[in-house]
Chain A
Amino acid sequence: MSTATQTRNSVDEFAAQFEQLEKNETFARSWFHPVRKAALARFVESGFPTLKDEEWRFTNIKSVTSTDWAAAADDAKSIGKDSLAAYCIGEVAATLVFVDGRFSAELSSTNKLSNGVKVARLADAMESDAKKLEPYLGQVLAEKDNAFALLNTALVQDGVYIFVPKNAALAKPIHVVYASTCNDRPTASHPRTLIVAEENAQANIVESFVGIDSGSSLTNSVTEIVTGAGANIFHHKIVQESAEAYHFGTIGAWLDRDSRCTSTNVCFDGKLTRNNVEAYLKGEGGCCTFNGLSMLRDEQLVDNHLRIEHIAPHCESWQYFKGIYDGASHGVFAGRIYVHDDAQKTDAKQTNQSLLLSDKAQIDSKPQLEIFADDVKCTHGATIGQIDEEAVFYLRARGLSDTAARNLLVHAFANETLNEITVEPLHERLEAIVLERLP
């Protein structure tokens, strides 16, 4: 069987799942149905990308597109609180847990939220808050060429809706956990988070993607972030999927004037992870920051693709992506800064730093600038290297053993990203994982 036929088949499989869902009247009569249908049509037309697509040429997803992914059962599988304990973070305003994309009431908890802040299941909000969701859900991304995001729009069943009204600030973070489990048939889930922050609102959101047991799974997530004028959103995405898991996640952000969005992405586990980021700086004075840290081993692959569009003038964007690659792991970074012709006084920077700890590890780094305005400051840079031997000597000359010195330097490299994490218990947990993984 040729690859093309296989790809066709997995596309057909998802299309068949859509038809199955359409038999449900609530699904078919929802205001969101036309959006889904259009997304599915585009997805079926374009199919999954292959190595021939420029944006996918370093990441082979044949093993994903040639699998018949089953839809998850209607009810959340019971997995027990203990299996999640390692991923939980203390002092949160709410924890919402989804198992294979299905909401688990048993594992979730929400404290009383004040100031009109709303944290709800997306499935509920789509009905109760339709008018509020309609301008954003499925609209933030320019999904034309993102097969996975299109597929999510078509098939999304649940997820989280977070609404922070004008001038409201959430003191504690909201934790969303999307857990994948091992099922009889390889199972796909398509969860979605929508974060809407109104004027001058503030919130801190953590999304954890975790694998509960080994086994093949596909998580295809979308996170849409809308920051109103002067709003400030901190977002964290942690990927700790199981060793056989595939993760495709798209983050889309719309930034209105003088708003800020800071998103930090940390990847530890999973067989293949692709993170897409699309940010649109639509109002003057907006500022977005995307930080990333991958710490990989064995044959893991993490691919970070970012596209930052400077549409309005006087905006800033920062991308800091770091990777620590051991074993035969593979990192991909492609960051594109796109400056529209009106976006004068843009200040944008992207850096990609990679630390290769083994001869077999590999990194493909592709920073890109496309600039159509003439008064801007854009810089990009990539460094790829081994541990700095001068620094090792410096530390050894102070008494640290060779191993201790090397570990300290890897730890330091990771810390530069982890120090950006504003949720202290999360920072501590991630730092502990880094320390545990040092040789």
Chain B
Amino acid sequence: MALLEIRNLHAQVEGNKILRGIDLTVNAGEVHSIMGPNGSGKSTLAQVLAGKDSYEITEGEVLYNGKDLLDMEPDERAREGVFLAFQYPVEIPGVSTNYFLKAAVNAKRKHNGQEELDAVDFLELVKEKAALVELDSKLLNRAVNEDFSGGEKKRNEIFQMSVLDPTLAILDETDSGLDIDALKTVAHGVNSLRGPKRGMIVVTHYQRLLDYIVPDFVHVLLDGRIAKSGGKELALELEAKGYAWVHESPETAAAAS
């Protein structure tokens, strides 16, 4: 059974059709990259999978471990092992990352019938994972993302991902706004989470990230549909030829008709 199976997914917001029939299968152990120009629906797909309710699903289905993902509340999806690294992580004044993350970890453990972590065990886990993305653990006692730099916010996302240990990780433009050093650090964090039991969807606008997180598959999203799929070399081709090239290719023309 596939980890994630998206079939003919259509989604719209306020009458604007954004996803127009997405088909995608992600198996455990695979890393899929979704590329595409602005407005192609990349982030919408990521958010729909995480359960953002501002999108209306008009057609299609999504199976996660064989279960109807679209029927689950966002928090239920998270407890079942879906993780979205946000493109724009939200600032939450007044609550430290550690405080909220402990609540999240324990919500998930409880859901899985595991014992909740106490403060000591939790801090140990946090320390180890923070080191992985070179996140200053002092930041974790500060309000979530408040006054964090762009790089710190993204590292905080990958840090949370590693603490929550998801089965399906979706990274929504995690590379945007990062300088090359921060990008390498984030990629290192992501790579260390690759494994036979985990599936990943890496949404990005730029090929650059894929130099560091090498995907098994690359999909090009255009106008709400996957216009082209291929191996990691597709990303390089895109880099060289631009998205317009996909538009013009015969395959795409066939898909659009």
Contacts and interface: CB of A to CB of B under 8 A. Distances in A.
Interface of A: 388, 390-391, 393-402, 404-405, 408-409, 411-416, 419
Contact of A411 (B94, B108, B143): B94
Contact of A408 (B53, B78, B84, B95): B95
B103 A400 contact: yes
Contacts of B52: 393
Contacts of B84: 397
B95 A404 contact: no
B238 to A, nearest CB: 29
Given A401-B107, A408-B100, A396 B78 contact: yes
B104 A394 contact: no
26 contacts: A393-B51, A393-B52, A393-B74, A394-B89, A395-B100, A395-B104, A396-B73, A396-B78, A397-B74, A397-B83, A398-B78, A398-B164, A399-B75, A399-B107, A399-B108, A399-B111, A400-B100, A400-B103, A400-B104, A409-B92, A409-B95, A411-B95, A412-B92, A412-B95, A414-B94, A416-B94
A88 B53 CA distance: 46
Contacts of B50: 397
A38 to B, nearest CB: 46
B103 A388 contact: no
A194 B51 CA distance: 57
Contacts of A398: 75, 78, 83, 100-101, 104, 160, 164
A388 B90 contact: yes
Interface in B55-107: 73-75, 77-79, 83-84, 86, 89-90, 92-95, 100-101, 103-105, 107
A415 B111 CA distance: 28
Given A388-B90, A395-B100, A408-B100, A400 B95 contact: no
B74 A415 contact: no
Contacts of A388: 90
B103 A404 contact: yes
Interface of B: 50-53, 73-75, 77-79, 83-84, 86, 89-90, 92-95, 100-101, 103-105, 107-108, 111, 143, 160, 164
A394 B95 CA distance: 13
A402 B53 CA distance: 13
B93 A416 contact: yes
A408 B101 CA distance: 12
Nearest to B75: A396
B100 to A, nearest CB: 6
Contacts of A414: 94
Given A397-B50, A399-B164, A400-B103, A405 B90 contact: no
Contacts of A419: 94
Nearest to A322: B94
A221 to B, nearest CB: 29
B51 A408 contact: no
Contacts of B101: 398
B89 A400 contact: no
A399 B104 CA distance: 5
Contacts of A393: 51-53, 74, 90
Contacts of B92: 391, 394-395, 409, 412
Contacts of B79: 399
Given A395-B100, A405-B75, A415-B95, A400 B107 contact: yes
A388 B74 CA distance: 16
A293 to B, nearest CB: 11
Contacts of A408: 95, 100, 103
A396 B74 contact: yes
Given A390-B90, A396-B73, A399-B75, 12 more contacts: A388-B90, A393-B51, A393-B53, A394-B90, A398-B100, A399-B104, A399-B105, A399-B111, A400-B75, A404-B107, A412-B94, A413-B93
A419 B99 CA distance: 15
Contacts of B83: 397-398
A413 B94 contact: yes
A395 B101 CA distance: 9
A411 to B, nearest CB: 7
Closest 6 CB pairs of A and B: A412-B94, A399-B78, A412-B95, A415-B94, A398-B104, A394-B90
A390 B84 CA distance: 14
Contact of A396 (B51, B94, B111, B160): B51
Please indicate which of the listed interface residues A398, A404, A409, A419 has the most CB atoms of chain B within 10 Å of its own CB: A398
B75 A401 contact: yes
Nearest to B85: A397
Contacts of A405: 75
B4 to A, nearest CB: 16
A369 B74 CA distance: 45
Contacts of B78: 396-399
Please indicate which of the listed interface residues B50, B89, B100 has the most CB atoms of chain A within 10 Å of its own CB: B100
A409 B95 CA distance: 8
B126 to A, nearest CB: 14
Please indicate which of the listed interface residues B94, B107, B143 has the most CB atoms of chain A within 10 Å of its own CB: B94
A402 B90 contact: no
B140 to A, nearest CB: 14
B90 A391 contact: yes
B156 to A, nearest CB: 11
Please indicate which of the listed interface residues A391, A397, A408, A412 has the most CB atoms of chain B within 10 Å of its own CB: A397
Contacts of A404: 103, 107
Nearest to A353: B93
A322 B4 CA distance: 45
B75 to A, nearest CB: 4
Contacts of B104: 395, 398-400
B73 A402 contact: yes
Nearest to B74: A396
Contacts of B51: 393, 396-397
Nearest to B52: A393
Please indicate which of the listed interface residues B75, B79, B83 has the most CB atoms of chain A within 10 Å of its own CB: B75
B164 to A, nearest CB: 7
Contact of A412 (B93, B105, B160, B164): B93
Contacts of B160: 398
Contacts of A412: 92-95, 143
A415 B78 CA distance: 26
A401 B92 CA distance: 17
Contacts of A411: 94-95
